[in-house]
Amino acid sequence: MSDVRVRFAPSPTGELHIGGARTALFNWLYAQKTGGKFILRIDDTDRERSSPDHLEAIYRALTWLGLDWDEGPDQPASYGPYVQSERLSIYTEAAQKLLQEGKAYYCFCSVEELAEQKKIVRESGQAPRYRGTCRNLPPAQQEEKKLTCQGHVIRLLTPEEGETVVEDVIRGWVTFDNANLDDLILIRSDGLPTYNFASVVDDSLMKITHVIRAEEHLSNTPRQQFIARQLGFRLPVYAHVPMILAPDHSKLSKRHGATSVQEYKEMGIVPSALLNYLALLGWSPGEDREILPLEEIVQLFSLERITKNPAIYDQQKLTWMNGHYLRTMELEELLQEALPFFQAAGVISANPTEEERLYLQAVLRIMRDRIKVLGEAVEATDYFFREDYAFDPEGVKKQFQQNKETGKILTRVSRVLQGLEAFEETAVHDALAGVAVELEVSQGKVNVPLRLALTGRTRGPELLDILLVLGKDRSVARIEKTLERFDLG
Ligand code: GLU
């Protein structure tokens, strides 16, 4: 059993987006690869922006992706609770320890005073920072201010000189100037901890060995390292994964395509494809392969192969990859994935009969090559599920109105198909070939109008496949109805 423990620590302030899902995946992969534990921790100390609905959305998205966690709010183990708002006494205790050891202090500066101080510092040409007004208040004055001031925060006494070096598996040694670190707030005036403080306390108490997270947190790391050292904690290994940017290298946003896991789900991206795609956003297997099933990614995964450069999001590649997974997954799995789309469109009932399931499965089998995302599936296959399917006007003009022989050909096809005892591949194929020979026309002259009659379209899957899926009765009825409707008989 490995002692690796990694965590994904989302803030429930919105849907799970592509960046968060990728961070969760990399943590999950590392735990899988090393036989370690994957922990889900909820960073909900931003009480205003956190909500139970967002938390539910995060659970739903992770569960849909199959990124199951070993410990978390609903999987309690010895290191809980796993929700930060339930751990407030733990942070207070840690802050008290720092206060007692003279490593932290109460600060009574009001919001207005702080703004004024920042302004003065900025005007003197320095980066805005806290000036340390309350650093050395004598104990008696502290007690007095506690009674008279509106509120107070607890700040960490932080060195103003020297450098802090962060060692990151992906980025190597990164040096930060302590002058920029500020005496950061540990506990706010409302008693809630700040992100940096709570994160360090939890990472340590939850025995996290590797902190794998978004690059945007690299600049927080020197602060977190300092907090950890002051608390006497061991440092975890850090791995800051690169940003995900839009193709034009701008910040990724909705206009570049879907970005939340829920939106991908609604588009009809399947989890296996999304996981494969996400894994390659900033990680490389070391060989030029794109299609990698999850088991293989687990085998090949290493933190060292995560790239430093930003990953570029490419929705076309994602949908291409999804198309691949739709084409190659087990039919039963495809059916499960596709069913909700057909149910939502009212094409298949909420509790489908065995017959409905088999019919949809047969349709998917012959149509899956033509679908990239399941959201397209209902529209692409609609003529299999309704008798009032629309006819392509160009096709009608060319095949039915301008071609005088069509009526005769389709009438003959209908008769011949009706006469078939076994409506199976060879028999149907031979029957259609027989009509072409008998009427002395090319096979195309039979097949093209027949396809149009059966589907309303001039293109689609193999004609023979369409006939076999529709079956004899429905095929013949459609041909008869077309003859009548377009007055071809
Ligand atoms: N709650 C933080 C976030 O969602 C976690 C950052 C971290 O992993 O330390 O960005």
Residue 308 pLDDT exceeds 90 = yes
Q: Which amino acid is at 83?
A: V
Q: Encode 309-343: b = buried (16+ Cβ within 10 Å), e = exposed.
A: ebbbbbbeebbebbbbbbeebeeeebbebbbebbe
pLDDT in tens, 86-96: 999 999 999 99
Domain covering 393-485: architecture: Orthogonal Bundle (1.10)
Residue 121 pLDDT exceeds 80 = no
Residue with tokens 């990680």: 283
Under 8 Å between Cβ of 236 and 203: yes
For CATH 3.40.50.620, the residue range(s) in the chain are 5-84+245-312, 87-241
> In the structure, what pLDDT confidence band is assigned to residue 11 with cuts at 50, 70 and 90?
very high
Structure token pair of residue 480: 């008869």
> In the structure, what pLDDT confidence band is assigned to residue 390 with cuts at 50, 70 and 90?
very high
8-17, 66-75, 135-144, 372-381, range with the lowest pLDDT: 135-144
> 126: CA distance to ligand 1 center in Å?
29
Residue 178 per-residue DSSP state: G
Q: Are strands 153-156 and 104-107 parallel, antiparallel or unpaired?
A: antiparallel
> In the structure, what pLDDT confidence band is assigned to residue 126 with cuts at 50, 70 and 90?
confident
Active site residue 481: no
Position with higher pLDDT, 212 vs 80: 212
Instruction: Write down the pLDDT at residue 147.
Output: 86
Helix axes 443-455, 406-418, angle to 10 degrees: 80
Q: Encode 356-392: b = buried (16+ Cβ within 10 Å), e = exposed.
A: beebbbbbbebbbebbbbbbbbbebbbbbbeeeeebe
Instruction: Write down the pLDDT at residue 268.
Output: 97
Q: DSSP letter string over 386-430?
A: -SSPPPPHHHIIIIIIS-TTHHHHHHHHHHHHHT-SS-SHHHHHH
Residue nearest to atom 3 of ligand 1 (CA): 10
pLDDT in tens, 406-452: 999 999 999 999 999 999 999 999 999 999 999 999 999 999 999 99
Atom of ligand 1 nearest to the CA of 220: 9
For CATH 1.10.8.70, the residue range(s) in the chain are 330-384
Residue 258 pLDDT exceeds 80 = no
Instruction: Write down the pLDDT at residue 224.
Output: 97
pLDDT in tens, 267-304: 999 999 999 999 999 999 988 899 999 999 999 999 99
Residue with tokens 């966690």: 69
Protein fold of 87-241 = Rossmann fold (3.40.50)
- Please tell me the distance from the alpha carbon of residue 210 to that of residue 62, in angstroms, as a whole number: 20
Work out the percent of the chain whose per-residue pLDDT is above 90: 85
> 106: CA distance to ligand 1 center in Å?
26
Position with higher pLDDT, 140 vs 258: 140
- State pTM to two decimals: 0.93
User: Mean pLDDT across the stretch 251-273?
Assistant: 92
> 201: CA distance to ligand 1 center in Å?
13
Instruction: Write down the pLDDT at residue 180.
Output: 86
What is the side-by-side order of every strand in the sheet holding 37-40? 37-40, 5-8, 210-214, 237-241, 163-168, 172-177
Q: Around Cβ 413, how many Cβ atoms within 10 Å?
A: 25
Instruction: Write down the pLDDT at residue 104.
Output: 96
130-144, 193-207, 339-353, 371-385, range with the lowest pLDDT: 130-144
> In the structure, what pLDDT confidence band is assigned to residue 399 with cuts at 50, 70 and 90?
very high
Work out the percent of the chain whose per-residue pLDDT is above 70: 100
Under 8 Å between Cβ of 221 and 235: no
Q: Which option is the CATH number for 5-84+245-312: 3.10.20.30, 3.40.50.620, 3.30.2130.10, 3.40.50.2300?
A: 3.40.50.620
Ligand 1 site residues (CB inside 6 A) read 9-11, 43, 199, 213, 217
Output the CATH code of domain 330-384: 1.10.8.70
- Please tell me the distance from the alpha carbon of residue 145 to that of residue 143, in angstroms, as a whole number: 5
Q: Which amino acid is at 211?
A: V
Q: C-alpha 38: how far from its chain's center?
A: 18
pLDDT in tens, 159-204: 889 999 999 999 999 999 998 888 999 999 999 999 999 999 999 9
Atom of ligand 1 nearest to the CA of 20: 4
User: Mean pLDDT across the stretch 381-402?
Assistant: 96
**Mean confidence (pLDDT) of the chain:** 95
Residue 214 pLDDT exceeds 90 = yes
For CATH 1.10.10.350, the residue range(s) in the chain are 393-485
Instruction: Write down the pLDDT at residue 341.
Output: 98
138-147, 183-192, 274-283, 338-347, range with the lowest pLDDT: 138-147
Residues in the chain: 489
Select which of 119, 146, 254, 308 is catalytic: 254
Give the residue, out of 5, 11, 84, 221, with the most ligand 1 atoms within 8 A of its beta carbon, to mutate for a pocket test. 11
Instruction: Write down the pLDDT at residue 55.
Output: 96
Q: DSSP letter string over 189-255?
A: TTSPBPHHHHHHHHHHHTT--EEEEEGGGGGGHHHHHHHHHHTTPPPPEEEEEPPEE-TTSSB--GG
